[in-house]
Amino acid sequence: AKGLNGSRLFEDKHKCRMLKIHDHIDIFPDRQVVAMTGDGTNDAPALKNADVGFAMGIAGTQIAKDAANIILLDDNFASIVQAAKWGRNVFDSIQKFLQFQLTVNISILTLNVICAVVNIHCPLTVLHLLWLNL
């Protein structure tokens, strides 16, 4: 499924309004991520509804901290930029790891299926398979 990448759902204003009212779903045409910073009780609903909510750790209220996804311990906005860099790095690393594992395991599976269909001895032993998955 392509999701909203090829969809024109965001052009139908009535459908977007109905999704917002009934299902609490906001449609963004370019898959924007909404981030919110806050430190007070009045910021809690916005922190909760944002994709990523940042609460201030020193000056923030407990309600804002409970509603947020990330709590800034030093109340410094430069920490948000650093957190975004770290988050993107982690996401990229996980994506590369999964791509590598899928490639290796699909290749091994293909080799084993071909060996089973042709009825020949598989060149990879159990120990080889364990080493390839490390």
Quick: pLDDT tens for 42-101: 999 999 888 889 999 899 999 999 999 989 889 888 888 888 888 889 989 999 999 999
Q: Are 100 and 72 in contact (CB under 8 A)?
A: no
**13/10 Cα distance (integer angstroms):** 7
**80/82 Cα distance (integer angstroms):** 5
**CA-to-CA separations, 102 to 21, 64, 84, 98, 126, in angstroms, rounded:** 40, 40, 27, 6, 18
Global pTM value: 0.57
10 Å Cβ neighbour count for 53? 23
pLDDT over 70 for what percent of the chain? 87
